[in-house]
A and B are shown apart, each in its own frame.
Chain A
Amino acid sequence: MPPSNSNNSDAAYAITARGLTRRFGKLVAVSNLDLDVPRARIYGFLGPNGSGKSTTIRMLCGLLTPTSGSATVLGMDVTGNTEKLKPRIGYMTQRFSLYGDLTVRENLEFIADIYSYPRSGRSARIAELLEDYDLEGQAMQLAGTMSGGQRQRLALASAVLHRPELLLLDEPTSAVDPRSRRDFWAKLFELSDAGTTILVSTHYMDEAERCHRLAILDRGIKVADGAPADLQENTGMTIIEVLAEAPPRAQSVLAGLPEVKSVTQLGVRLRVLVPSHIDAPLDLISGVLSKAGLDADSKVVSASLEDVFVAVTQDDDSGEQAA
């Protein structure tokens, strides 16, 4: 029996991390990360490439040793308990990592044996997965010859075969079409409703928006953490949408203002972020634009998740953030 105090946190959180840090030589890939992932929820890691998402996931499953800090997964300290945790965790890599020269069924059989799935229930479990993940038609097909969406369904089926309590998904949808992504997320919600905790990293805004809770990572640092709706309400920014006749010119005029945090063009519209402490931001924007001889229609709108992302990550770097 684990000690009673860890029993409490065990009940509420599948993952807790304190001061988790990982260095590769001089590069700090993950810096002083605190994390609380509630059980039976989908928790998202949002961040651009190189923000430390994969490194964090690898530390949480024991593949990488933290330089400092600690992480508790399913009530156990990851360091020293990696082998005990493996049967309780399902892991899906960024890259397809099953055997392309085995059939779908052979891959699943292999994984069932590796996880010591009881012999008696094995074929029933595989049949169930083939049906659930819409792979019945591909059971005898070599995994390497399947489409991206089919492979990804097989990868998820493989990761959940042994009914893990915790699923770690490292950019699982980076190689599939939008339709497959939607089906994939429907599956994740089913799993989460059934009690599985899911930690998923992504760089898609629409995926991040579906998570129950979300951490935004930027160059190894957690810059925001909360439910997507809460994050959108508390950006600390006023979002102004500008419909101008010459968007590029309007953008360059507005970007020069010290009060403006960022200007992003979305089709014919501009999305302008102004910190909340600036008074009457709408008048400021309209005034500047008319002074520049530009006809524009500006209005305050509510923040999207992308606005949140821009607000928290684009501090010293004015490079464009792609969705």
Chain B
Amino acid sequence: MSALIRLLAVVRKELRQLRRDRLTFAMIVGIPIGQILLFGYAINTDVRNLAAAVSDQADTHLSRQFIAELTQTQVLRIGDPVATPEQLEDLLRSGKISVGVHIPHDFDRRVVDRRRPAAQLLVDGADPTILGVANQLASMPIAFDTWPGYGPPQRSLEVRPYYNPERRTAVNIVPGLIGVILTLTMMLFTAVAIVRERERGNLEFLINTPVSTMQLMVGKVVPYVVIGLIQLALITGVGKLLFDVPIRGSILQLYIAAFAFIAANLALGLFISTVAKTQFQAMQVTFFILLPSILLSGFVFPFDGMPLFAQYLGEFLPITHFIRLTRGIMLREASLPEMSSELLLLVGFTVVAMTAAILRFSRRLD
């Protein structure tokens, strides 16, 4: 009973301090909203309107029709025509265009010939996304519309995009963004919270009182669990409102997954606080973990496309498993039991990190 009173005393104290800490309070709300606006509006892997130029040396009915079709795809934004492929190269090098279309004199003959490509795409291949788009364009059929018996060439595979048919990036980004924001705020707040008590000398007093390590740590962490869940509501709410990101699966299961993930990050934050001596060090360690969390978790790059070593590293990050859970629940209408191994990994991670934190947190000064 007195253990519970002590735990609640730590919680109440933490809430009172938080209420007076305006900056932290603002960050709780500001970080999720700022990030989702930033990522939602700025990041777009669905490529459209690439700057392009055409040198049409054939200037026939067919070549003009071809250019018109290219324009219709909306992938290219074709600017003023140029005369020679050399000019296209200059524009490419100076960064004014990403794609150049060269249509040679013998375009019509090449179309009929079929053994030789009819036209050439000059592409800034430094960006693989643009190169990918160019490869799609290359398979666009060209033919005289008067050519008898012509139909579109048979394709070997048909692509049916499930879950995100409009290929909107926000749909994929938002579930991952929940993970990134929770990692940042949960880990940072807890790591700094304990280190601050040590820096300010509060801890020397506290360890002389009957409050136990467990009560102190759990009590400090509980308010942040609630804050994390509020952040989740904010992100999914703004995601739905502004970017029409669906939650197709169970909302309750989404919150259960988030709860497990928040616990894992708080445990990690507590562990950091036992390693770091100053608030600045705590922040450095947090960012040391945050960076791979963004890059190796499947948030930015498709997980399966990463080198095997990076995939192994990614498996050790709680966010990797959480992103699989959120994308599953929010987009594919998957249920937690179907993905129970991911959830169990999060729980296991929490237990290990929390045990390490409690073992490392010394109630003595030596």
Contacts and interface: CB of A to CB of B under 8 A. Distances in A.
Interface of B is mostly: helix
A99 B201 contact: no
Contact of B364 (A65, A93, A97): A65
A128 B6 CA distance: 22
Interface of B: 2, 5-6, 8-9, 12-13, 16-17, 20-21, 200-211, 363-366
A97 B209 contact: no
Contact of A101 (B2, B6, B12, B20): B20
A271 B209 CA distance: 46
Interface of A: 58, 61-65, 82-83, 86-87, 89, 91, 93, 95-102, 106, 109-111, 113-116, 142
A142 B21 CA distance: 13
A88 to B, nearest CB: 10
Given A63-B204, A91-B208, 8 more contacts: A61-B208, A63-B366, A95-B204, A97-B203, A110-B12, A111-B209, A113-B6, A114-B211
A186 to B, nearest CB: 24
Contacts of A115: 209-210
Contact of B201 (A93, A106, A110, A116): A93
Contacts of B16: 102, 106
Nearest to A168: B208
A87 B365 contact: no
Contact of B210 (A83, A93, A95): A83
Contact of B200 (A83, A100, A116): A100
A63 B208 contact: yes
Given A98-B202, A113-B8, A86 B13 contact: no
Contacts, number: 72
A116 B2 contact: yes
A125 to B, nearest CB: 15
A82 B212 CA distance: 12
A302 B12 CA distance: 57
B13 A106 contact: yes
Contacts of B210: 83, 86-87, 114-116
Contacts of A62: 364
A64 B200 CA distance: 20
Contacts of B13: 99, 102, 106, 110
B358 to A, nearest CB: 15
A89 B17 CA distance: 27
B65 to A, nearest CB: 72
Contact of B366 (A61, A65, A86, A142): A65
Nearest to A155: B205
B200 to A, nearest CB: 7
